[in-house]
Amino acid sequence: MYALRRVLAIIPVIVVVALVVFSLLYFSPGDPALVLAGESATPAEIERIRGALGLDRPYLVRLTEWSFGVLKGDFGQSMFFGRSVAELMLQRAMPTLWLSLLAMVFALALALPLGIIAAWQAGRAPDRVAMGFAVLGYSMPVFVLGYLLIFCFSVWLGWLPVQGYKPPSDGLWPFLSHLILPALTLGVVYAALIARITRSAMLEVLQQDYMRTARAKGLGLWSMLLGHALKNAAIPIMTIVGIGFGSVISGVVVTETVFNIPGIGRLTVDAILRRDYPVIQGVVLVLSGVYVLINLLVDLSYGLFDPRVKY
């Protein structure tokens, strides 16, 4: 029953997001027709393009038509590419999906050990080093970190390609070699956030009486940290993993631009520069839906980590 209520609660959230996105783009300054027509176009040509694109119709008419189209899975036609928005998003989805998954793997592989060690060595040098990394990683802009990694591993050492994307069908190493740097760039920012929350959650658990009992019984260090402490600290960590996915979504836009990856993020940047409103509306709505869905799954997963959580 709880899961059903949470699923139904997603509907008004998506409706509000769709309304806000459409309204912001409708009332924002700038004219897509002027971008398409070019600077040398006459006012008559611009008006003709506006009429052909339906930009001269009232707000409620356009909102109603777009809303009914979205309900049928039709996000409209791209003004610049001349193709359906759904087709463009499907074409660009795989690079973004692989990048996001690899970035999350990097982030979790880096953040969990850092957070655990920092909590175990609280107040000592390992703790200060780990939290210094977390502060630096979360404060550094994604594009700055991306260019630093490109300079070190591509320009200076020549180990990895500078930009581009290769699908898995081209071979495992070409595929991974083009994703390591962008995934690491995105994963470091994500890892910094998770590491700080992991440390805080682990510190609270390590101070509990049952942890002192486990230590007094001579339980092994890693068995105590991983088998007892981490399991009991899983709920706040899982929560920040879901919330932090928003950092991945926003970071994908910048990362794909820096590394010239033809994904959803790069499509969004191109659409914004060209004022391709249907593409912007479709991408933002879909990414918002994915973000809400991931947070729902994280919420429903609490019972797997803590039997005391009942729905």
Phi and psi at 167, nearest 5°, equal: -70, 160
Please count the residues of the chain: 311
Average pLDDT in the 123-128 region?
82
Determine which of 26-35, 154-163, 190-199 has the lowest per-residue pLDDT on average: 26-35
Q: What is the pTM of this model?
A: 0.82
For residue 108 the two structure tokens come to 């979790």
* 222 pLDDT higher than 80: no
C-alpha to C-alpha distance for 246 and 287, rounded to whole angstroms = 9
Confidence of residue 189 (pLDDT cuts 50, 70, 90): confident
Q: Is 166 in contact with 178 (CB distance < 8 Å)?
A: yes
Domain boundaries, the chain: 89-305
CA distances from 183 to 16, 119, 123 (A): 32, 26, 31
What's the whole-number average pLDDT of the chain? 80
Q: What is the 3-state composition of the chain as percent helix, strand, coil, each rounded to the nearest 5? A: 80, 0, 20
At the top level of CATH, which class does the domain 89-305 belong to?
A: mainly alpha
CA angle 88, 244, 275 (to 5 degrees): 35
Helix (H, G, I), strand (E, B) or coil at 219: coil
* 311 pLDDT higher than 60: no
Encoded amino acid at 169, one letter: S
